[in-house]
Amino acid sequence: MPELCSLKRMTSFESGYGLWGEGVKKGWALKSADLVSSLLEAPTFDHTIGKEKFYSIYKKLYFFCFEGSRKGHYLFASAFYRGIDSTVTAEIDSPPISAGTFCQFRFYVFANSENVSLQVISKNVLTNERHQLMEIPKGDHQFSYQYQNIPTSNSGTYKIILTASFNLRPNMWADPWIAVDDISFSNECQIGDSAPTTNTTTLKPPNNCPTVSCTALNSTAQICLKPSQMCNFIQDCQVSSVV
C-alpha cells in the first residue's frame, strides 16, 4: 500500500502542533480532553479519537498512538470575563502553502458560545496581505465538532491564520471557548517547500478509479473516492477494503 496521507497535510494534535504555530501562536494551546470533566470548561472529547471516526488508512498507520486513549487532544483557546467589557483574540498560523487550483483547507471546530467567532484568513508570505476566507458566525454553535471545507484560490505562497475572537461581556452563561481538531490540506496544496505530491499518481487501481477504490462504509457498494474526500479525517471506506 503506497502512502496515502502525508502527515505534513494532516494534523490531529495527538503528537504536538505538527507544523502549526511556528510563526504565530498567541492564545492557542494544546489541551487534553482526558483532563476535562465539563463542557463549561472545554470539550470533553476530541474529534480524532473521541468519536472514533477517522480515516481508515490513517487509523491503520497510527493505531498504536490511539490505543489506551479514548479522548485525545485538540487545539484550544478561551477567554475569561474580568469585569471589563473587551474583545480578545487568539491567533495561530499554518505552515506556508502553495495552493493549486483545487486546494482545500479542512478542519473541525467546536465552540460553546455566541461570544466567540473564528476567522479563517490567508496571509501572503511576501506581502503580508490578509484576506478573510471564512468566518464562523456568532451563534452558529451545535455542541459538536463541525466540519469545514474551505476552497483556497490564492496564488503565491501564503499561510492560513486561525483567529478566534472572544467578545467578553457580563452575564455570560459560560466563558467562551473554541476547539479545533483534525486539520488537513487536500493533495492539491503544496506544503512548505516540499516537492509536488505524487500521492494520487502512485495509486493505479484496476477499475478506472484514479484515486482510491473501496467498499463504502455503510453499504456493500464499491465507490471511488474523489480527491477532496481523501485524507480529511472522514472515514468513507470499510476497513481493509481499500484497493
Which range of residues in 20-28, 148-156, 175-183, 214-222 is near Ca ion by CB under 5 A?
A: 175-183
- Contact between 107 and Ca ion (CB under 5 A)? no
d(CA 177, CA 75): 11
Residue 185 CB, nearest approach to Ca ion (Å):
16
DSSP H/E element including 122: strand 116-124
Q: Are 199 and 187 in contact (CB under 8 A)?
A: yes
Nearest residue by C-beta to Ca ion? 48
What's the grid cell of residue 104? 482545500
DSSP 96: P
Q: Where are the alpha helices (DSSP H) in 80-149?
A: none
Return the number of the residue (13 or 20) whose C-beta is nearest Ca ion.
Answer: 13
Residue 162 pairs in a beta bridge with: 92, 120
The mark string for 32-61 relative to Ca ion (x by CB under 5 A, - otherwise) is --------------x-x-------------
Quick check: 13 binds Ca ion (CB under 5 A)?
Answer: yes
Residue 211 CB, nearest approach to Ca ion (Å) = 25
Distance (Å, whole) CA 122 – CA 133: 7
| # residues contacting Ca ion (CB under 5 A) | 6
Least Cβ distance, residue 73 to Ca ion (angstroms)? 5
The H or E element that residue 10 is part of is strand 10-11
User: Is residue 181 at the binding interface for Ca ion, with CB under 5 A as the rule?
Assistant: yes
Among 43, 72, 96, 176, binds Ca ion (CB under 5 A): 72
| Contact with Ca ion (CB under 5 A) among 4, 10, 11, 12 | 12
Between 34 and 114, CB nearer to Ca ion = 34
Contacts of residue 237, defined as CB under 8 A and 6 or more positions apart, other chains included, come to 56, 212, 214, 215, 216, 217, 223, 225
75 lies in the site for Ca ion, by CB under 5 A:
no
Smallest gap from Cβ 141 to Ca ion, in A, equals 19
Q: For residues 141 and 21, what is the distance between their CA atoms, to the nearest angstrom?
A: 25
d(CA 62, CA 172): 40
**Nearer of residues 91 and 181 to Ca ion, judged by Cβ:** 181
Judging by DSSP bridges, how do beta strands 130-136 and 213-215 pair with one another? unpaired
Could you tell me which of 81, 143, 71 has the C-alpha nearest to residue 115? Answer: 81
Min dist. Cβ of residue 191 to Ca ion (A): 19
Decide whether 10 or 214 has the Cβ nearer to Ca ion: 10
CB of 74 to Ca ion, least distance (A): 5
Interface with Ca ion, residue 184, by CB under 5 A: no
List residues binding Ca ion (CB under 5 A): 12-13, 46, 48, 72, 181
